Structure 1
Amino acid sequence: MVESQLTLYQSGDMQKLAIPPRSRFYHLEPIGIGTPYVESLAGYLIRLAQEHCVNVGQLILAEIAPLIRREKSQLSGQKVDSISKVCGIDRDRTALNGMGLMAANLVMALEVLTRRNDLRCLTLLPLAEIVSKRDLLRPIRAWCPICYQEWLNSDQSIYEPLLWSIKIIEECPYHHHRLLSKCPHCHQQQLILCRNSRPGYCNKCGHWLGQRSTKKVVPNLRKAEIFDNHSSYILNNIEELIRAASSHKLPTESSRIQQIFFRYINQVCGGNVTALSRFVGIGVATLSSWYQDATLPQIDKLLQFTERLQISLVDFLTTDILAADGLNQAAILPPPPSRPRKHLKRLDKPRKQVIQFVLEQVLQESPPPSLQNVARRLNCRPLVLQYHFSEICSLIQLNHASFRKLERQQRIQPILEAALDEFPPPSLLEVVRRLGYKNNSYLYTYFPSLSRQITERYKDYIKGCGLEERNRISQEIETIAKEIHSQGYKPTRRRVAELLQKPGVMLNQYAQDILRQVQRSLGYE
């Protein structure tokens, strides 16, 4: 019997291998991070949907909406059936690339799904404590057709740069071609993001948006004209700002902006805000609100400020020392104009006696005039009268105010009381127009109770009319549906709408719910 020979092998490692976590979506790398042509967040979402072979609407409703709804408690339990509930309505979708809650929620959701941690750089969130949201982003899509065509010809990824969504940017920095906002085929404007968005293609008609350039591009033409050409200055500084934002080099606290403006006001003009305002062409109140941290500057005003001081925007935000040697009060600011000081008019004793006698007679007049009217009679300024005859002037003002109040009550109050008896009840705006005023603030100030009564009565009337209209529509739908059913046909939405007085009513959700109830009552599932 042949003896079997056994072979000994080294023992294997039977421990379970550590598998790194997997992402729900592809770990798609954004385009252009760290460059001025960084991809926008809305464009990244479109490319992500394209990589997964689904449209943007399916991607948002199936994957992104549940994550955002989990963070927003007010949407819990509600079915999200439209991307408008996630991305905003119409032109509000531009906020996806901005610095608000909508952009932050989308960044959070996409970072969870892709396991990336750099998607914040695809928005303007790093600028949230630097510039105001007002007029920052354009509400519609804009693009450079030459960029699209060059990327297609060179087999590069076609995407939507964040730079194109900034409102102040009007031309492509590389081709000097004005950004387009209407499709050359269907001549329609487009939203930043739609259910069927595709990079480089029209959201309306589906045509390609690229075109060949007929001009020869001269690289870096604008670099030498940074302080001579206004458009070049804007392009260069917005590019630097986006690059610095993606590199995390910008200040993240609004108090830092306040300190910068306070330092410039003191170093450049010695604390003279008025002189600085005249030089940079920005109002004193606006500059004051900036350095008092009351408001954040708009991007166009901030660029106007830095361009006038001949310093780049990024240097202004990041450098603690004035960059230019000539930035001092003597060199940069013109001397303030000398104005003679105004003094109150001196009154001699006989003149004062005459004015006092006239003012005492004015107290007896009916109706009592205003202090400005009395001052015109005496050829004096009201301040002069108040300085020399403060007590009498106070009585004149008090009498005139009482007279105006009584006049308002006698003239306006009967009109407001009559409006409460009218049928159909008028709106407060209609009553305001009858009285010749522009808005209802005057009535709310002096007749708050009557104004609220008119407003509430009008609201109740409108609400009642709406209920009556809905009941009428409900009865009409029910009658038509039963008539169609009696003819042997199913009362579908289309068939019912054809017989309605106003077919468009069937587009409303409540009309569709009424029809479903009628269908169930007739035995339809």
Structure 2
Amino acid sequence: MKSSESLGTYDLWRFEELQTPDHSRLYHLQAIGIGTLLAESLTSYVARLAIAHCVATGILMEREFTKYIQKTYGGANLHTIYHATAALNGTGSMATELVQTLEQLTLRNDLRFLTLLSWSELLPSRNLLRSNRAWCPVCYEHWHHSRQILYEPLLWSLQVVQVCPQHRQPLRQECPHCHKNNFVLAWRSRPGYCSKCEGWLGESSNDEPEENIESKIDWHVWTAKSVGQLISACPQLTSPLKERLVRNLLAYSDFLTEGNIAAFARLLQMPKNTVWLWCKGKNFPSLVELLKVSYRLNTPIFDLLTSDAINTDLKKTASLMPVQSTSLKRRSPNFDAKSIRKQVEDFVNKDEEPPPSMREIAKRLNHNERTLSRNFPDLCRIISARYRNYRKNNQEATIKLSCQEVRQIAFELHKEGQRPTEDRVSALISRPSFLRYRQVRRALLEACQELGL
């Protein structure tokens, strides 16, 4: 028998219920770029969340959002709110409801910064957001080649922003393949791809802007960067914006025109009554008007809205800068419509394999694609339809091959003692993105059923 000296005393185990963190219903997906000029939009976040769950955006909203969103705007049924989806990035109740719903489902607390809700006290909603989706094709192309996540910055959704501040290129609103506009959020929304035909929206840098619009690009780049300042500041906003704006306008009026509102309005090139109402705090300028005032006062828009001090270095009238015309219409001085129509007709009559897209034809002819579509809509529709049919047939063949590949991978994984999950299969399949297609996922499901899984 062992001596009692060998016995020891040990701490008692304490059987207490462990506090485990709450699990989110949907993935705790991190938003892109919060606090920067190119912060992600809320509609982009919804589309990426759907991709992460391998479902269409419309299906995600119907299955997960319906019980949280009120029926005022048709609930979470995308079919009934297509034309209003721009408001999901804005300052009103639709944005508020979607933010609250998403934060509840993902357990995130920073999604309001993907909208303009932080500026709702000041910015009127009228003409604030564009009704259709817009994008910079060069951004998409760059992100794709550098293997960055594709997304849509909130900046692109604002109506006043017409160019990409990084690439100095006009934002696009028309798909280069099907020539259709996209809703801001649609059933098959996917960053970087058309929600109508699923065509790729990226392209390499265009030529330099035509001479007749180059001078206007500077104004639009300045506008985009100024609006980007407001977006990047969303997480830090705390001040009473309206009162500060009124104080700063009155301070500039005192400094520049000794408090003469009529003279101040003339310097700003604004109606006297409009400026008087601003200075009295009875009305507030739209975003476009704020940008013009900021530009003419040579003061960053963010400082105009949040600073406690005005720019006293500014010389009274000499430093007030005129705002240039905001039109970005392109005109080609050497556009011979008759000759170019003949060349486009040659492409229509030519039996080229594979058929070229309108983008490719525009490059070959050295003319802007939108110019061709505007001048020869009948011919461009034929070319686009032919290319679309080719892509559809080619896609169907590729989907069929992907189904076969998925089955083969599933059986090989099972043979190696591994369960053929979507994650494992997507790491081995040659086209991981094709798992988003219903037919490919069904092929994987059927393979698992055959294996008794």
Q: 2:113 aligns with which of 109, 121, 131?
A: 121
CA distance in 2, matches of 1:230, 1:112: 41
* Residue 208, structure 1, aligned to residue 200, structure 2: yes
* Residue 82, structure 1, aligned to residue 74, structure 2: no
Shift of 1:98: 0.6
Q: 1:144 aligns with which of 123, 136, 139?
A: 136
CA distance in 2, matches of 1:164, 1:59: 24
Identical amino acids, percent of aligned pairs: 38
CA distance in 1, matches of 2:19, 2:208: 56
Shift of 1:262: 2.8
Q: Is the 8 A contact 1:130 1:257 kept in 2?
A: no
After superposition, the Cα gap between the structure-2 partners of 1:238 and 1:81, relative to the gap in structure 1 and judged at 3 Å, is closer
Alignment deviations for residues 333-372 of structure 1 (CA, whole Å, 9 cap, x no partner)? 9xxxxxxxxxxxxxxxxxxxxxxxxxxxxxxxxxxxxxxx
CA distance in 2, matches of 1:177, 1:81: 34
> Structure 1: which amino acid aligns with 2:253?
I
Residue of structure 2 equivalent to 1:233: 222
User: Does 1 or 2 have the higher relative contact order (CA < 8 Å, sep 6+)?
Assistant: 2
Residue of structure 1 equivalent to 2:268: 280
Q: SS state of the match for residue 307, structure 1?
A: helix
Q: Is the 8 A contact 2:298 2:314 kept in 1?
A: no
* Residue 297, structure 1, aligned to residue 285, structure 2: yes
> Structure 1: which amino acid aligns with 2:224?
L
- What does 1:363-374 correspond to in 2, within 5 Å? none
Residue of structure 1 equivalent to 2:146: 154
Q: 2:306 aligns with which of 312, 318, 324?
A: 318
Alignment deviations for residues 262-302 of structure 1 (CA, whole Å, 9 cap, x no partner)? 33323332221111111111111211222222322111111
CA distance in 1, matches of 2:227, 2:75: 37
Shift of 1:21: 1.4
After superposition, the Cα gap between the structure-2 partners of 1:115 and 1:237, relative to the gap in structure 1 and judged at 3 Å, is same
Residue of structure 1 equivalent to 2:47: 46
CA distance in 1, matches of 2:226, 2:155: 11
Residue of structure 2 equivalent to 1:264: 252
CA distance in 1, matches of 2:148, 2:134: 20
Q: Which runs of 5+ in 1 are unaligned?
A: 334-525
Q: SS state of the match for residue 63, structure 1?
A: helix
Q: Which moved more, 1:197-206 or 1:263-272?
A: 263-272
Q: SS state of the match for residue 68, structure 1?
A: coil
> What's the TM-score once normalised by structure 1's chain length?
0.55
CA distance in 2, matches of 1:102, 1:324: 41
Q: Is the 8 A contact 1:257 1:317 kept in 2?
A: yes
Q: Is the 8 A contact 2:244 2:306 kept in 1?
A: no
CA distance in 2, matches of 1:324, 1:256: 17
Residue of structure 2 equivalent to 1:307: 295
Shift of 1:10: 4.4
Q: SS state of the match for residue 44, structure 1?
A: helix
Q: SS state of the match for residue 69, structure 2?
A: helix
Stretches (4+) displaced over 3 A? 5-10, 214-217, 330-333
Shift of 1:248: 2.3
Shift of 1:312: 0.9
Q: Which moved more, 1:270-279 or 1:32-41?
A: 270-279
Residue of structure 2 equivalent to 1:430: none
- What does 1:94-133 correspond to in 2, within 5 Å? 94-133=86-125
CA distance in 1, matches of 2:252, 2:197: 51
After superposition, the Cα gap between the structure-2 partners of 1:260 and 1:65, relative to the gap in structure 1 and judged at 3 Å, is farther
Q: Is the 8 A contact 2:151 2:191 kept in 1?
A: yes
Residue of structure 2 equivalent to 1:506: none
> Structure 1: which amino acid aligns with 2:38?
Y
* Residue 66, structure 1, aligned to residue 74, structure 2: no
Shift of 1:62: 1.7
CA distance in 1, matches of 2:217, 2:31: 34
The root-mean-square deviation of aligned C-alpha atoms, in Å, is: 3.0
Shift of 1:9: 5.9
Q: SS state of the match for residue 141, structure 1?
A: coil
Q: Is the 8 A contact 1:144 1:178 kept in 2?
A: yes
Q: SS state of the match for residue 195, structure 2?
A: coil
Residue of structure 1 equivalent to 2:165: 173
CA distance in 2, matches of 1:236, 1:172: 9
After superposition, the Cα gap between the structure-2 partners of 1:214 and 1:277, relative to the gap in structure 1 and judged at 3 Å, is closer
- What does 1:475-486 correspond to in 2, within 5 Å? none
CA distance in 2, matches of 1:169, 1:182: 16
> What's the TM-score once normalised by structure 2's chain length?
0.64
CA distance in 2, matches of 1:99, 1:261: 24
Q: SS state of the match for residue 163, structure 2?
A: coil
After superposition, the Cα gap between the structure-2 partners of 1:28 and 1:61, relative to the gap in structure 1 and judged at 3 Å, is same
Alignment deviations for residues 380-421 of structure 1 (CA, whole Å, 9 cap, x no partner)? xxxxxxxxxxxxxxxxxxxxxxxxxxxxxxxxxxxxxxxxxx
After superposition, the Cα gap between the structure-2 partners of 1:228 and 1:45, relative to the gap in structure 1 and judged at 3 Å, is closer
